[in-house]
Amino acid sequence: MTTVRPHRPGHARSDGSTVLRAARAGARPTGSARPPVHRAARWEDAFDRRLAAVLRRRGWTVRIEPYAGYGAPGWVRVMARTLLAAPVVRDKDLPGAGATAQAGTRAAPSLRGWRSFATAQVAGAELDVTVGDRTHRVVTDRGGYVDTLLESDLPPGWHDVVLRTQDGDRAVAPVHVVDPEVRYGIVSDIDDTVVVTRLPRPLVAAWNVLVRHENAREPVPGMADLYHRLLAADPRAPVVYLSTGAWNAAPTLGRFLRRHGYPAGPMLLTDWGPTNTGWFRSGPEHKRAQLRRLVHELPDVHWILVGDDGQRDPEIYAEAARLFPDHVRAVVVRQLTFGEHVLARGLPVQGPAGVRAERAAEREGVPVVLGADGSAILRQMRARGLLDP
């Protein structure tokens, strides 16, 4: 059993292997002074420990909810979550069934969104992760998540990574190893970019995520076709779906992406719960951190950043264009309709900050393409010479 990335905190085991502890953005190196943990996080941890103890006494066992990952020759990023489930519940009936559907695995039954939030997370669970011929041991963080880089001998393409719990449960997480010859890829927002969710209006968002059946969700017209057209020149190009949505929604989103023909690709979501520093984590900062990470981990890829003007995508993408102009190929902004703007922001038009951000990206020499849907964006990209006729 081997591990990698000495910058990842861990501890040695008697068998000579190393246990990797999943690290979150902003985590301090091992041995450094730790800041006080926010009381909301302490309350959540205490509640989770008591709940887990009760459920384990009732015979519940640790299960794995895998997420699609990515990598390059020599390493892969593996993401998953551990939760408790009753022995009578089959793996295909777990709320997370279908979390990797967007990566081409077997389809899963559709559920109402709230079922994906009815879980009991497991902190500190040890998992054995087999990547090709190598096996690593990792430990889930306080939210039950694993998000770690592991050594890999996998060639470019899609592969299956096998995860096993100490209770004997097994799950498979697909990973896309990006070919070093690939020179561009797509980073796509999800809410109101590929699926009509009308965020961040809380009541409408809650209805769409928690109550409304996933089969009733509306795709944004033409966006799947646009993505396939962007990939036509090089089908090996990576697609990453970046959103401020919760990981609990990954199964629903994965099935939606597959059902409506979107290209396969990992999702980078976030945890809505309390953090070590506050009640909630910052959605915009999550997007900024993940964009920085993609730029540093895949330095030869020039990204087409796709979002919408209902939230802060234009500002975040303009900032990326300013900081990494050689790594941003274009910024694509889906323009919300009058009604969508009212539902999303309470205003009928895009805010002035978004307009300024789009102009700032153009000044950095990064093309900014606007359109109401995928077809309109495709026409604009062709008109500007960003796509072949």
What's the CATH number where 45 sits?
Answer: 2.60.40.10
Amino acid identity, residue 237?
A
75-85 and 61-72: which strand pairing? antiparallel
Do 94 and 236 reside in the same domain of the chain?
Answer: no
Residue 141 lies inside a defined structural domain of this protein: yes
Residue 389 lies inside a defined structural domain of this protein: no
Do 87 and 164 reside in the same domain of the chain?
Answer: yes
Do 151 and 219 reside in the same domain of the chain?
Answer: no
pLDDT digits (tens, 9 = 90+) for 294-315: 999 999 999 999 999 887 899 9
Neighbouring residues of 140: CB distance < 8 A, sequence distance ≥ 6: 22, 81, 82, 122, 123, 124, 125, 127, 146
Do 154 and 203 reside in the same domain of the chain?
Answer: no
Predicted local distance difference test score (pLDDT) of residue 110 = 55
Q: Which domain holds residue 242?
A: 184-383
Residue 4 lies inside a defined structural domain of this protein: no
Beta strands in the chain (DSSP E): 10-12, 18-21, 61-72, 75-85, 120-121, 126-131, 134-139, 145-151, 157-165, 170-177, 184-188, 195-196, 218-219, 239-246, 267-270, 302-308, 328-334, 368-371
Do 322 and 205 reside in the same domain of the chain?
Answer: yes
| CATH assignment of the domain containing 300 | 3.40.50.1000
Quickly count: other Cβ atoms within 10 Å of residue 217's Cβ: 19
Predicted local distance difference test score (pLDDT) of residue 309 = 87
pTM: 0.81
Q: What is the mean pLDDT of each run of 10 residues along the chain (389 residues)?
A: 38 38 36 51 62 68 89 96 76 62 59 53 91 95 91 96 90 95 97 78 52 70 97 96 85 86 93 52 85 97 94 90 94 82 54 65 84 95 84
Do 290 and 327 reside in the same domain of the chain?
Answer: yes
From the list 109, 280, 286, the residue with the least C-alpha distance to 190 is 286
Last residue of a domain, one of 177, 203, 233: 177
Predicted local distance difference test score (pLDDT) of residue 2 = 43
Residue 103 lies inside a defined structural domain of this protein: yes
Do 139 and 267 reside in the same domain of the chain?
Answer: no
Residue 5 lies inside a defined structural domain of this protein: no
Do 212 and 172 reside in the same domain of the chain?
Answer: no
Predicted local distance difference test score (pLDDT) of residue 191 = 87
Do 230 and 256 reside in the same domain of the chain?
Answer: yes
Do 342 and 201 reside in the same domain of the chain?
Answer: yes
The number of domains in the chain is: 2
Last residue of a domain, one of 129, 154, 177: 177
Do 64 and 116 reside in the same domain of the chain?
Answer: yes
Do 125 and 190 reside in the same domain of the chain?
Answer: no
